[in-house]
Structure formats: C-alpha cells, structure tokens
Amino acid sequence: MALKNQYLIDLMETVKKRNQGEPEFIQAVTEVLETLEPVVDKRPDLVEAGVLERIVEPERQIMFRVPWVDDNGKVQVNRGFRVQFNSAIGPYKGGIRLHPSVYLGIIKFLGFEQVFKNSLTTLPMGGGKGGSDFDPKGKSDGEVMRFCQSFMTELSKHIGADCDVPAGDIGTGAREVGYMFGQYKRLRNEFTGVLTGKGLTYGGSLARTEATGYGLCYFTKEMLEANGKSFDGKNVVISGSGNVAIYATEKAQSYGAKVVALSDSNGYIYDAEGIKLDVVKEIKEVRRGRIKEYLDAVPTAEYHEGCKNIWTIPCDIALPCATQNEIDGESAAILVKNGCWCVSEGANMPSTPEAIETYLSNELLYGPAKAANAGGVATSGLEMSQNSERLSWTFEEVDAKLHGIMKSIFKACDEAAKEYGMEGNYMAGANIAGFLKVAEAMKAQGCV
C-alpha cells in the first residue's frame, strides 16, 4: 500500500528526514499513516490542529550512560533509553527492553506503537518505551542486579507512578523488574506502583505473567469466531519461547489447538505430537536454558538450527511471539503456500511490510500486534489500579477483566474497519480506533 494523500506524503518525508538511520521507526510510522488516509479525508479538523505532525514526534527522549561492574571487577558501559512518546490520555506506559540490538530507533518504534495500543485497551495510559543494549543472557544474578540498579539510578529521575510507569519486555522479566523496583524505592524512599510486572509479594498483579499470551489468544479467538472459525483441532506454529510464547501456547492448547513448534534465537523445535509445555517451562522459566534442550526430554521431537525456517512448517495459524520483522515476504509466502490462513501477532511488529501485503492480498485473517498483544499492557493498567487502591484482585477477576478488554479491542478494530470502508482489515481498524481517541484528546488539550 503506497500513500496517495499529498499531505501525508509530505509528512512522511519529514519523518524520514528527521529520523535517518532508524528504519524500524520509519516502518512503524509508514504503516500507521497508510491506514489513516480515510481519516485524514473525513476529519480535516484533526489535520488543522496539527495532530499528525505532533503524534509522530516523541514528547521527550532520554539517553544515558549505564556504568556497572562485572564479576571480574571490570567496568562495563551500556546505553540506556527512555522515550516518552505521548501523554495525551494518561501517564507514559511501556516496557523496558534489554537486548544487544537495542538502539534509539527500536525504542522509538516500540514507543510509537505503544501509543495506539494503550489507547485501544480503553484504559487511561499514554505511550512510552525504554531499554538498553545490555544483554542479560549469560550474566550472573549479581551482574544483572548491578546493571539494573545503575539503569534505575538515572531512570528514576524521569519516571513516577503518575508520570511514567515502565514494565517488562524482551530481556526484562520478574528478576529485572524486582531489581529496578528495589533501587527506585531506595532512591526515592517511597513505595509506589512505579513499575508493573512486579512480584506478587510486593504489589504485582495475578495474571500479569500470563496476560500477553492469553490476551493474544482471546483476541485471536474473537477474530476466528467472527469469521466462523475456531482454534479447536488446528495446527499452530508459535515463534519464541519467552513470556509471550509460553502463555500463548498454554491458552491455545486449552482451546484445543495443537501447537507444534517453538523457537529461540538459535533455532526451533518441531514436535508433531504437540509441544509439552511443562518441559518448555522447566527449560525457560526455571533453568533459563536453550530450546534445543527440549530434545533431552522429548527425543522424538526435531531441532533445527536458525529460527527463520520455523515458518516453513505447515500450519493453520501462525502466532509470531519473538521479535520485530521475524516474518518477511518470503516466509509469509511460504506460510500461505503451506495452507496457513491466520496470522496473529504476539510480538511487536513481527511482520515486514511485504509480509503484511502477502497476508492481505491472500485474505488471511490478520491480527495486528498493537491490538492482538495489548493484553500485557492492559493487565499492567490493572496492576496500576490495584496499586492505587492498595488492594489485590484474584486471578479470576484479573483474567475476566483481561478477557473483556480483548473482546472490546477486537470489536473496536472490527467496527472502525467497517466504518472507514475496510471491512476485515483489522490492522487498519486498530490504527484508526487507536489513533482517534488519542487525536481527540490532543486536539482538546490545545497545541502542547
């Protein structure tokens, strides 16, 4: 899909000039602007208010040095980021990614996506994202703790329960959130809900761990049912084997699907009998091991080096849950050729523009990340509510609220797509519905 509206073409040119060397950010903005063409035609008041020019520019970007001492007594230096993208509808909210591939462009694309995703959740949360090029893999607990403390020493100057509330993402799980929370509390001498994804003994929410994976399946189930289909008896391929992939597998299996593959950044496993999730949990959640160790427990399964070929496994439904741009045009074409008819995204921006084009031109059911994986941040929003109330809800209460939110997100995407003449295009629906709420708030608040 290419932009046709001259105003949007000019805006995109400005974005490209201003953000050179940041292809992921430009990709994310392009995808959104392409689907906003009918909105621009219908809502000249939003153009007049300069909403689009403002929404593509972060309110604030913070970059800082993160020095820490490794187990050999040597000083290491990483780079820290926090991009506070948009606070029109609530405090900035978005996770912290710890991965060697992190640079400003990755954090900006994630922050931009987060603005629309958070809007879709129906909760009052603005968009932000943070991270560092630190790699927790292979580090001792002591090294991870010293890094997290140093990272938070600087970050604490810029966040707060009513200002900016970070959470987990790739490389940031319960351990890292715990170390960051402890340091924030020590520096500020206050116990507030400044981070979500906390442990259950100190303000965390039940069901937050499961939320993104479960939410992905709740959204996908709505999409399937609206199109006369279901998970039951279907073959499902899921990439990744981290937080999102594990709980997407659990929920898809509970709906009667057979999940046949999972991966990590080294390779993928294929188990024709269906993945044994207790084995995966033991490897990934207890031992922090590699996915190939699955074969030690299940020798009948196969392991293949390299993660891209996971998409050559024939399946009905693909749930990419690892990282950005993991499905390119070639992989998407193979998925379609092998009979895949649904792709729903647990990871952020896992499909390249060519892959998305392939889904749409072959009329696949396509659940875009900013809608389909919004369950994590929605439950983070519920964690914030519980922290403010100083109460804890039961697993069932939180899960029921999450389920309701994912249903309403699907409905919002479906209805916006219909209203703007793109029925069945849930990507367009998600972008439009997410955008309109933020845009109305920005217009109402004047030129800020």
Task: Tell the smallest beta-carbon distance from residue 151 to ligand NDP (Å).
Answer: 16
Is 387 a residue that touches ligand NDP (CB under 6 A)?
no
Identity (one letter) of the amino acid at 447? C
Q: Per CB under 6 A, which of residues 310..329 are in contact with ligand NDP?
A: 321-323
Task: Tell the smallest beta-carbon distance from residue 353 to ligand NDP (Å).
Answer: 17
- Secondary structure (DSSP) of 370-402: HHHTTHHHHHHHHHHHHHHHT----HHHHHHHH
Q: For residue 111, give every residue at least 6 positions away whose Cβ sits within 8 Å of its Cβ, in sequence order, or none.
A: 58, 83, 84, 85, 94, 127, 128, 129
Is 431 a residue that touches ligand NDP (CB under 6 A)?
no
Is 169 a residue that touches ligand NDP (CB under 6 A)?
yes
Task: Tell the smallest beta-carbon distance from residue 396 to ligand NDP (Å).
Answer: 20
Which is nearest to 268 in space by CA: 300, 290, 235?
290
**Closest residue to ligand NDP: CB criterion:** 242
Is 241 a residue that touches ligand NDP (CB under 6 A)?
yes
Which is nearest to 375 in space by CA: 197, 124, 109, 121?
121
The dihedral of CA 329, 331, 332, 338: what is its sign?
positive
Q: Identify the residue among 91, 105, 126, 168 touching ligand NDP (CB under 6 A).
A: 168
Q: Identify the residue among 143, 164, 176, 264 touching ligand NDP (CB under 6 A).
A: 264
Is 348 a residue that touches ligand NDP (CB under 6 A)?
yes
SS3 state of residue 19: coil
Three-state SS string over 140-158 comes to CHHHHHHHHHHHHHHHCCC
Q: For residue 358, give every residue at least 6 positions away whose Cβ sits within 8 Å of its Cβ, in sequence order, or none.
A: 329, 332, 333, 336
Q: What gap in Å lies between CA 133 and CA 422, rounded to an integer?
A: 39
Q: What gap in Å lies between CA 369 and CA 215, rounded to an integer?
A: 11
129 is catalytic: yes
Residue 376 CA, distance from chain mean position: 8
Binding footprint of ligand NDP, residue count (CB under 6 A): 23
Is 178 a residue that touches ligand NDP (CB under 6 A)?
no
List the alpha helices (DSSP H) in 329-374: 329-337, 353-361, 369-372
User: Residues 184-213 vs ligand NDP: string with x where CB under 6 A?
Assistant: ----------------------------x-
Which is nearest to 264 in space by CA: 280, 282, 248?
280
Is 115 a residue that touches ligand NDP (CB under 6 A)?
no
Q: Which is nearer to ligand NDP, 179 or 420 (CB)?
A: 179
Q: Which is nearer to ligand NDP, 111 or 242 (CB)?
A: 242
| Active-site residue, from 108, 117, 129, 221 | 129
Is 240 a residue that touches ligand NDP (CB under 6 A)?
yes
Task: Tell the smallest beta-carbon distance from residue 211 to ligand NDP (Å).
Answer: 6
Q: Per CB under 6 A, which of residues 367..386 are in contact with ligand NDP?
A: 373, 376
Q: Identify the residue among 346, 367, 381, 434 touching ligand NDP (CB under 6 A).
A: 346
Q: In the complex, which residues of this chain contact ligand NDP (CB under 6 A)?
A: 168-171, 212, 240-245, 264-266, 307, 321-323, 346-348, 373, 376
Active site residues: 129
